[in-house]
Amino acid sequence: MSSIGTGYDLSASQFSPDGRVYQIDYASKAVEKSGTVVGLRGKDSVVLAVEKIVTSTLYEADAGARIFTIDKNIGLAIAGLLADGRYIVDIARQEAANYRQQFERTIPLKHLTERISAYVHAYTLYSAVRPFGVSVILSAWDEDQGPQLYKIEPSGSSFGYFACASGKAKQQAKTEMEKFNYTEMSTTDLVQNSGKIIYQVHDELKDKDFRYEMSVVGRETDGLHRINPAPWHTMAIEAGEAFKNEDDSDNEI
């Protein structure tokens, strides 16, 4: 820990002399220790992809999932502390259910993002609680708004994106994503690109094993959020492995 944080990092409600809230900085560090999560927004769909680090071979294959369905057309991926993320998932599902009960329609993603952002931000205001050590990426698609992608930081700030990333290789993933224009990409192109990014940023020296998780929501899924859909999931893994093998061959030369 930096010496300047001494005495100013005991409470989320206290600013340091240089205008920082150290508890939020520490929550962001928890996110940076997590596997990489990316979101890609294309022409008619949104793809979420996760590098789920395997910490033990004794876990079942679907243990520790980091992609969830909030409503029929809304997906959520988390980077950071899994327990914190699951709590946010519960809050998001409650918000979606309450909105549907009151208005008899699916909650707009922008409205849901604003509600979750306000909730996350509230945990940075009081000394009796700590900030959530999680970054959240939300995806949705509908006929009116088309594909939508948002990200919420541990501070509670949120923005809409064409492509975004969180986790330990966030910067490397962002560098790769900036090379492409995703706005006109098809679902197939998005899926393959997500596989390439996750496999490329995975650090085999630090984390030997990982599982690729992904979800798709868009016109081709009839507006439904689908987790690990068989054809696209396999397609992404094959694209990622092929890209990784090609990259390794180039390095050997």
| Assigned domain for 140 exists | yes
At position 9, the amino acid (one-letter code) is D
For residue 250, the model assigns a pLDDT of: 58
Phi, psi of 109 (to 5 degrees): -65, -40
Could you give the C-alpha distances from 197 to 68, 113, 214, 241, 243, in angstroms and in order? 21, 25, 12, 11, 9
Q: Are strands 67-71 and 45-53 parallel, antiparallel or unpaired?
A: unpaired
**Backbone φ and ψ of 243, nearest 5°:** -65, -40
How far is it, in rounded angstroms, from Cα 186 to Cα 143? 16
Q: Determine, yes or no, domain membership for 5.
A: no
Looking at every residue in the chain, the average pLDDT score rounds to: 91
Nearest 5°: the CA angle 80, 238, 226 is 55
State if pTM tops 0.85. Answer: yes
Separation between Cα atoms, residue 117 and residue 126, nearest integer Å? 16
Give the pair of three-digit tokens for residue 250. 């180039």
Is the confidence at residue 249, as pLDDT, over 70? Answer: no
pLDDT at residue 16 tops 90 = no
Task: Give the CA count within 13 Å in the CB-facing half-sphere of 135.
Answer: 30
Residue 26 falls inside a structural domain: yes
For residue 11, is it within any domain? no
- Distance in angstroms (rounded) separating the CA atoms of residues 63 and 29: 23
* Number of separate domains in the chain: 1
Q: What is the CATH number of the domain that holds 238?
A: 3.60.20.10
| Owning domain of residue 159 | 19-54+63-246
Higher pLDDT, 197 or 13: 197
Query: Does a structural domain hold residue 118?
Result: yes
Q: Please report, rounded to a whole number, the percentage of residues in the chain having pLDDT higher than 90.
A: 76
The predicted pLDDT at position 6 comes to: 63
Q: The tokens of 124 are what? A: 């940075």
251, part of any domain: no
Is residue 169 in some structural domain? yes
Residue 2 has pLDDT above 80, yes or no: no
Task: Note whether residue 13 is domain-resident.
Answer: no
CA–CA dist 116, 156 (Å, integer): 8
- pLDDT tens for 19-45 read 888 889 999 999 999 999 999 999 999
Other Cβ atoms less than 10 A from the Cβ of 100: the count is 14
pLDDT of residue 94 exceeding 60, the answer is yes
At 1 the pLDDT is 44
Alpha-carbon gap, residue 79 to 167, rounded angstroms:
6
Q: Are 191 and 47 in contact (CB under 8 A)?
A: yes
